[in-house]
Amino acid sequence: MVEIGIVVGEARPEWIQFFAKDVVRVGEFVTVDTVDGQALYLVESSKLESKLLSRVHDYITAMEAKEASKVNPRDTVRYCTARAVGLVKDILKGIRVYPTLPPDPGSPVFLAEDELLRRIFHNDSKEWVEVGRLLRRNSVTVSVNLNKVASRHLAILAATGKGKSNLLALIAKRVAEKNGTMVILDYHAEYYDLKIEKMRFVCPKINPRYLDSEELADMLDIRSDATKQRDVLRRAYTKDVMRSPNFWEALEENLRNEAENEEDFQTRVTARRVLEIIERSLAIKGNIFDTEVESPLNLIEPNKINVLDLSGLTEIQAQIIVAHYLTEILNDRKNAMLKRKSRFRSPVVIAVEEAHTFIPQDRSSRCSGVLARIAREGRKFGVSLILVSQRPCKLNADVASQMGSFAISGLTHPRDQNFVMEVTDEVSTELGASLSSLNTGEMILTGQWITVPALVKVDLVEEKHMGMDLDAVGLWAEDANVGRKRISTEELIKL
């Protein structure tokens, strides 16, 4: 074992500070002997300081101090803090047991050996899947427990461009390899060109008969403040219309009656306006309505990765669709657990892209109720959530706190960092401070799906193209050359 430092200052069972001989990076694993046995620690902060250069207040003195510091190795201080992630002997059994006493001051700090980390992070059991490598040990692969994702929920919280979509695609790929069922609520059409096995793209359909008049008004794009138009629609949307084999014709007939026969002039005008809105809405996105579809579930295939394309919808429309689909899925799984007729005989994982749109912190949305219910009760029925968001502080904290596992990266806003620290007890202030410095694909994985928290370089999904910035210049050049004959320089000279 390589000794890299010495425990100094105040040590606690869960936390130590040490001076290091050489560079020790955040995310590195070290071991220290305690009275309970060898404990594994994750380095959460690493500071490098020249005592001399810390005291200078001007450029010239700093330049002089730099030269002086070079000749004195004692002037450079490497100071690290590390959090205990458990006793090695218990971690190897898959249990997290913390030391009951801190190591003695002056205890040597050792770099954890690759072989030990391999035994901790790599798991070949069927419920474990590989997602990447330890950020500081490229030779150590990291496995996560899919059972925990499918039962205790997962939150992927990372800034734009840090690899959220890649990780979700990777999880989808791994779920597909295990014949699992997954529904990805794709709000920004990020997965339309993802080409992995068993993946299917679903244009969501909804039967307007199952909507109440307010939901129908939202789906038809009637403004929320157009109360008169909504009143007219409510009156026209009768039970007869709901039961009618020709739903739209029956609805339009009621509205026409009002437009022609209503005594009040203003109401007649409003009814005509609602008719125009329906006509326009059906022309633009009529394919989303299907008056014959029995259940939205028929569009979702078990044992497949179903990408539900919500990209053409407004926020409210997407919320309504999500509410209906998720309610049906939850009810179906309840039936499955009660041995009744059901479509999904095995657990369903639901991934919610742009989760802050569907379960916002400051208000309720059309689907926040069902999402909160799944977060609370989903485990009992085999329905789990993967929440994906780049603004975690805008997520409903109650729902977020139900997440059993986390993948976090690149959060720069202090409110987002604080939110993460509030909902997970394994991301400390020190580790949280390093979040903003993580590069694309580098994530802190923590919670029940991983043996111990770790900084991981997530594998790149080769089949994935989404989330990348457009090569606009390349595309323009390609576009400009379409249909034009290529002429060489020699040919141009001849001309």
Partner 1 sequence: MTLKQLFERAKLVKQRLQEEESSERFREWLSRAKDVWKSYKPSKVEKKVAAIDSGWNYRTYCGFYLYAIRAVAVAQSSETVTDPIVDVDILPMEDDGSGISPELYIQGIAECYEHDLASKVANLLDIVLVDGSILARLNAMRTLSRVKLFREYAVYVRPLKNAKNILFVSKYSQDRSLVHGALGDVYYINRVTNDIGYTEPITFERDGMTISVFYVRLSKNSDAIHVEVPAIVDLEYVRSVIDALYNTAVKGYPYALMVAHEIASLPNDFMDMISEVAGLSVLPTAREVLEVG
75 vs 221 by CB, closer to partner 1: 75
By CB under 8 A, residue 64 contacts partner 1: yes
Number of residues engaging partner 1 in binding (CB under 8 A) = 14
Q: Which is nearer to partner 1, 21 or 200 (CB)?
A: 21
In angstroms, how far is CA 142 from the centroid of its own chain? 19
Output 73 or 483, the one with its CB closest to partner 1: 73
d(Cα 297, Cα 206) in Å, to the nearest integer?
A: 10
**Minimum Å distance from CB 65 to partner 1?**
5
DSSP state of 352: E
Does 65 bind partner 1 (CB under 8 A)? Our answer is yes
CB of 74 to partner 1, least distance (A): 4
Nearer to partner 1, 60 or 493 (CB): 60
Within residues 68-87, the interface with partner 1 by CB under 8 A covers 68, 71-75
Residue 154: exposed, middle, or buried by beta-carbon count in 10 A (0-12, 13-18, 19+)?
buried
Q: Which one of the spans 64-72, 378-386, 432-440, 447-455 is the region binding partner 1 (CB under 8 A)?
A: 64-72
**Cβ nearer to partner 1, comparing 59 with 265:** 59
| DSSP 3-state percent helix, strand, coil across the chain (nearest 5) | 40, 25, 35
Q: How far is the CB of 452 from partner 1 (least distance, A)?
A: 37
Identity of the residue, 6 or 372, whose beta carbon is nearer to partner 1 in the bound complex: 6
Which amino acid belongs to residue 108? P
What is the distance between the terminal CA atoms of the chain, rounded to a whole angstrom? Answer: 75
**What is the DSSP annotation of 307-321?**
EEE-TTS-HHHHHHH
Nearer to partner 1 (CB atom), residue 69 or residue 147: 69
Dihedral of the CA atoms 469, 473, 474, 476 (nearest 10)? 120
Q: Which stretch binds partner 1 (CB under 8 A): 27-35, 66-74, 214-222, 283-291?
A: 66-74
Nearer to partner 1, 36 or 75 (CB): 75
Least CB distance from residue 50 to partner 1, whole Å? 11
Query: Is residue 409 within 8 Å of residue 168, measured between CB atoms?
Result: no
Could you say whether residue 67 binds partner 1 (CB under 8 A)? yes
Helices (H) and strands (E) in the chain, counts: 19, 17
C-alpha 459/C-alpha 380 separation (Å) is 31
Cβ atoms of 65 and 56 within 8 Å: the answer is: yes
Q: Is 245 in the site for partner 1 (CB under 8 A)?
A: no
Positions in 3-32 near partner 1 (CB under 8 A): none
* Closest distance of CB 59 from partner 1, Å: 11
Burial class (CB in 10 A: 0-12, 13-18, 19+), 335: middle
Instruction: Please report, as ranges, the residues that interact with partner 1 according to CB under 8 A.
Output: 51-52, 56, 60-61, 64-65, 67-68, 71-75
